Amino acid sequence: MTWIVLGEKNGKIMLVSKNNVTGLLPKGSYLTVEDNDSKFILRVDGTYQQEPYSPSPMVIDMDLSPLNPDQKCQNIITAYRVKDISNRSDGLIDYIKPQLLARRSNQEEIDLALGATGTGPQVFIATVHSGQNQLLTDDENKLMTTRLPNDMFFHQMLICGKTGSGKTVATKYLAQYFIEELEGAVLAINVKDVDFLKMDKPSVTNSPQVLEEWKTLGQKASGIDNFIVYYPANTNIRPTKGVTQDVCQRITLNVREIEPESLTGLLQGITDAGAQNLPNIFRWWQEDKIDRGNEEDFTFSNFVKYFQKAQDDKYHFRTLNSRGDELEITLHAGTYNNILRNLDNVVDFFDNENAKSLDYDDILQHGKMSVIDVASKNGVQFGSIVLRHLLNQIVSAKSEQRSTVPILIIIDEVHQFYNSNASNEALGDLDTICRTGRSQKIGVIFSSQNPTDIPRGLSSVINTKIFFKSDAAAAKSHGILISSDEMESLKKGFAAASIHELPQLKLLKFPMAFAGVFEKEVK
Partner 1 sequence: MENFNKLFFHPSFNDTIEELSRLNVQLPPNPSYQEMDFHLNTYPQNGKLISKIEDIKSYSLSPKKGEKLARSNITLCAYDESINKFSGLEGAAFLTSHSLIVHHKNDYLPLNLLTFYFYTRAESFSKNSPLIKYSQDPETDSKKDYVNDRHKFIVDNTPNNSILFVDGPLIGGEISSYTLKLNNELLKKNVVPLFFVKNSNSNLVTDNIEELTGNYNSDMHWAYRSLKTGERTNLFKYVDQFNERNAKIFCYLKAFNVSPQRVEIHSSTFEKHSNQLPDLLDLVYYLLLVQGDLKNPQIRSISIAEKYARATLNLIDIDKLMKSSGIIPTMNQERFGW
**Interface residues with partner 1 (CB under 8 A)?**
19, 53, 55-59, 62, 64-72
Asked whether the beta carbons of 109 and 490 are under 8 A apart, the reply is: no
Q: Tell me, what amino acid is at 165? A: S
Sequence-ordered list of residues with C-beta below 8 angstroms from that of 164, at least 6 positions apart, any chain: 492
User: Exposed, middle or buried, 419 (CB in 10 Å: 0-12/13-18/19+)?
Assistant: middle
In this structure, the strands spanning 74-85 and 248-251 are: unpaired
Q: Which is nearer to partner 1, 57 or 479 (CB)?
A: 57
Distance from C-alpha of 473 to C-alpha of 469, rounded to nearest angstrom: 12
CA atoms within 13 A on the CB side of 111: 11
CB of 122 to partner 1, least distance (A): 39
Q: Which is nearer to partner 1, 17 or 133 (CB)?
A: 17
Distance from C-alpha of 85 to C-alpha of 157, rounded to nearest angstrom: 31
C-alpha closest to that of 132 among 495, 509, 522, 489: 489
What SS3 string covers 482-508?
CCHHHHHCCCCCEEEEEECCECCCCEE
Distance from C-alpha of 109 to C-alpha of 114, rounded to nearest angstrom: 9
C-alpha closest to that of 262 among 335, 346, 348, 167: 346
Q: Which is nearer to partner 1, 68 or 245 (CB)?
A: 68
C-alpha closest to that of 109 among 87, 85, 128: 85
Query: Please, which residues bridge with residue 85 across strands?
Result: 39
Asked whether the beta carbons of 29 and 46 are under 8 A apart, the reply is: no
Q: Which is nearer to partner 1, 1 or 340 (CB)?
A: 1
**Helix, coil or strand: residue 11:** coil
Q: Which is nearer to partner 1, 98 or 334 (CB)?
A: 98
Q: Which is nearer to partner 1, 70 or 193 (CB)?
A: 70
CB of 21 to partner 1, least distance (A): 12
In this structure, the strands spanning 227-232 and 369-373 are: parallel
Burial 287-314 (b: 16+ CB within 10 A, else e): eebeeeeeeeebbbebbbebbeebeeee
CB of 68 to partner 1, least distance (A): 5
CB of 7 to partner 1, least distance (A): 14
Q: Which is nearer to partner 1, 58 or 92 (CB)?
A: 58
Q: Which is nearer to partner 1, 66 or 239 (CB)?
A: 66
CB of 69 to partner 1, least distance (A): 5
Asked whether the beta carbons of 519 and 205 are under 8 A apart, the reply is: yes
Q: Which is nearer to partner 1, 69 or 91 (CB)?
A: 69
Q: Which is nearer to partner 1, 98 or 164 (CB)?
A: 98
Q: Which is nearer to partner 1, 48 or 53 (CB)?
A: 53
- Max intra-chain CA distance, the chain: 103
Distance from C-alpha of 269 to C-alpha of 422, rounded to nearest angstrom: 11
In this structure, the strands spanning 464-467 and 326-330 are: unpaired
Q: Which is nearer to partner 1, 6 or 304 (CB)?
A: 6
The CA radius of gyration of the chain, in Å to the nearest whole number, is 29
Asked whether the beta carbons of 437 and 444 are under 8 A apart, the reply is: yes
CB of 462 to partner 1, least distance (A): 51
CB of 65 to partner 1, least distance (A): 6
